[in-house]
Amino acid sequence: MKARYRYRIYPTTEQQPKLAQIFGCVRVGGNDSLAYCQQKYKLREKKPTNAELQKLFITQRKQIVNREWLSEVSVVPLQQSLNDLNQAPPNFFKSCQGKRKGKPVKATKFKKRKSKQTDAEDSVRLPQR
């Protein structure tokens, strides 16, 4: 059995910029990979694997001059956001076909910069270290 816990945190003023940076990196990486996946879908090409997405949007993007700030945060939240993005289309299609239990799942959409980071869609998972 898997257990999941949700916590509300109240970060200090020193922690707030670092958390905002993590949310920003997750948002940018997720939006870039979502745009790439949508482009592949429109061209009727094969869906990229999770490993391909991680290589393209984490490993290689950290080496780009205007994206070097991605290497300032832990890689775990970035990987988890791509894992979530990889699982979203199958969940959506199963939901449309009625093969998925629970409430209907909406199609994946881009994350906005002006978000308040209070929704479930604006979440990150952090390593224990």
What is the pTM for the complete model shown? 0.78
User: Which of 83, 86, 84, 61 shows the shortest CA–CA distance to 72?
Assistant: 61
Output the pLDDT for position 14.
93
Please say whether the beta carbons of 105 and 92 come within 8 A.
Answer: yes
| CA separation for the pair 35, 52 (Å, rounded) | 14
Q: What is the pLDDT of residue 56?
A: 87
Per-residue pLDDT of the chain (129 residues; tens, 9 = 90+): 777 777 778 889 998 898 888 888 888 888 989 999 889 989 999 888 889 988 888 888 888 888 888 888 888 888 888 888 888 888 888 888 888 888 888 888 888 877 665 555 567 777 666
Whether the CB-CB separation of 24 and 77 falls below 8 Å is answered with no
Give the burial class of 61: count Cβ atoms within 10 A of its Cβ; 0-12 exposed, 13-18 middle, 19 or more buried: buried
